[in-house]
Amino acid sequence: MVRRYIYEGKDPLEFWDHVSAERKRFLSGHVPATKYVHLVGVNQTVTFLRDPIQRVMSEYQHFVRNYGYEGDFPSFYRKPQFINRLSNILGGVPLEAFGMLGLTEEYEGSLAMLNEQYSTEIEYAAMNMGREDKSKNYEIPIEQLDELRDLNKVDYDLYSHGVRVFRMRERLFKEGLPFVHGVVQKVTAKSIRGWAWYADRKTPVEINILINGEKVGKQKATALRPGLLQLNPPRKGYIGFQLNFREPVPEGTRVSAVVAETGQVLGEFQVRASE
């Protein structure tokens, strides 16, 4: 169906009509997230992150093994198409928005959360392995490590953020509490705004707004967020929240948004002078 309707017919909607009609459960591949996210919906989209340096070494080994690449490792990772590849393939989709964000390094735990989220029974399997022991990292000379970190700083920052998102979801999962996809988009001296939705229900999320740790208001995430409609989010995009403060708050004030039901922190920022 992918070959026929995407590559030959170039009609994604016809493709999705056939996928839906035949009740396919998963569409997977090494493709940019934005290729199918509008059709599938971001809440039904899954991605796994991997340490950027280990990922690029794995890709290098794959090219050597399967495509006869004859250059050395530096000649590979210096090519523009392999720099910050993780960020490029995610295409700016917020990590908090993905229906499931897993970590390759935490594969079994990620799989357990995925099965819970989508009521699936996918079993752990070790497949497509380029080496026998994937529990050990590739050993890379220090000078190459330094260069890789410099070249892939955007990926490193993204991966670190992804680990924080994963740990929050993991904690809630183990406590039997619902996970909320959400972020604080902007904080100024006058207001706070963001978006949020539950992973497993259509009920709007109630958000507590705190100033320096003290609750000053509560908002339901029911406002339209047009900028997210390309991701086909839940609730037809009515997932936004905003609270205008009674009076402007001074520089250095700590403002945070917390899910009322669980205490999950969606974001915490200090107001800056320019704001």
Q: What is the CATH number of the domain that holds 253?
A: 2.60.40
The predicted-structure confidence for 100-143, as pLDDT tens digits, reads as follows: 999 999 999 999 999 999 999 998 877 655 555 555 678 899 99
Phi, psi of 94 (to 5 degrees): -60, 135
- Number of residues that make up the chain: 275
- Please say which residue of 143, 174, 205 terminates a domain: 174
- Please say which residue of 174, 189, 220 terminates a domain: 174
Do residue 38 and residue 167 come from a single domain? yes
- Please give the single-letter amino acid code of residue 107: Y
* Predicted local distance difference test score (pLDDT) of residue 135: 53
Specify if 138 maps to a domain: yes
* Predicted local distance difference test score (pLDDT) of residue 208: 98
Do residue 265 and residue 141 come from a single domain? no
Ranges of the chain with pLDDT below 50: none
- Please say which residue of 174, 208, 223 terminates a domain: 174
- Whole-number Å distance between alpha carbons of 8 and 30: 19
Instruction: Output the pTM of the full model.
Output: 0.90
Specify if 275 maps to a domain: no
Do residue 135 and residue 191 come from a single domain? no
Question: And the tokens for 201?
Answer: 């229900």
* Predicted local distance difference test score (pLDDT) of residue 269: 95
Do residue 36 and residue 162 come from a single domain? yes
Specify if 140 maps to a domain: yes
The pairing of strands 206-211 and 214-220 is antiparallel
Do residue 208 and residue 161 come from a single domain? no
Residue 20: which domain range?
A: 1-26
Do residue 45 and residue 163 come from a single domain? yes
Specify if 143 maps to a domain: yes
Q: Of 249, 265, 163, nearest to 207 (Cα)?
A: 265
* Predicted local distance difference test score (pLDDT) of residue 76: 96
Query: How many structural domains compose the chain?
Result: 3
Do residue 96 and residue 156 come from a single domain? yes
Specify if 102 maps to a domain: yes
Specify if 224 maps to a domain: yes
* Predicted local distance difference test score (pLDDT) of residue 274: 61
Specify if 156 maps to a domain: yes
Phi, psi of 47 (to 5 degrees): -145, 150
Specify if 142 maps to a domain: yes
Give the per-residue SS3 of the chain.
CHHHHHHHCCCHHHHHHHHHHCCCCCCCCCCCHHHCHHHHCHHHCEEEECCHHHHHHHHHHHHHHHHCCCCCHHHHHCCHHHCCHHHHHHCCCCHHHCCEEEEHHHHHHHHHHHHHHHCCCCCCCCCCCCCCCCCCCCCCCHHHHHHHHHHCHHHHHHHHHHHHHHHHHHHHHHCCCCCEEEEEEEECCCEEEEEEEECCCCCCCEEEEEECCEEEEEEECCEECHHHHHHCCHHHHEEEEEEECCCCCCCCCEEEEEECCCCCEEEEEECCCCC
Do residue 38 and residue 68 come from a single domain? yes
Do residue 138 and residue 4 come from a single domain? no
Do residue 108 and residue 197 come from a single domain? no
* Predicted local distance difference test score (pLDDT) of residue 260: 98
Do residue 239 and residue 160 come from a single domain? no
Q: Are 249 and 189 in contact (CB under 8 A)?
A: yes
Do residue 52 and residue 115 come from a single domain? yes
CA atoms within 13 A on the CB side of 183: 13
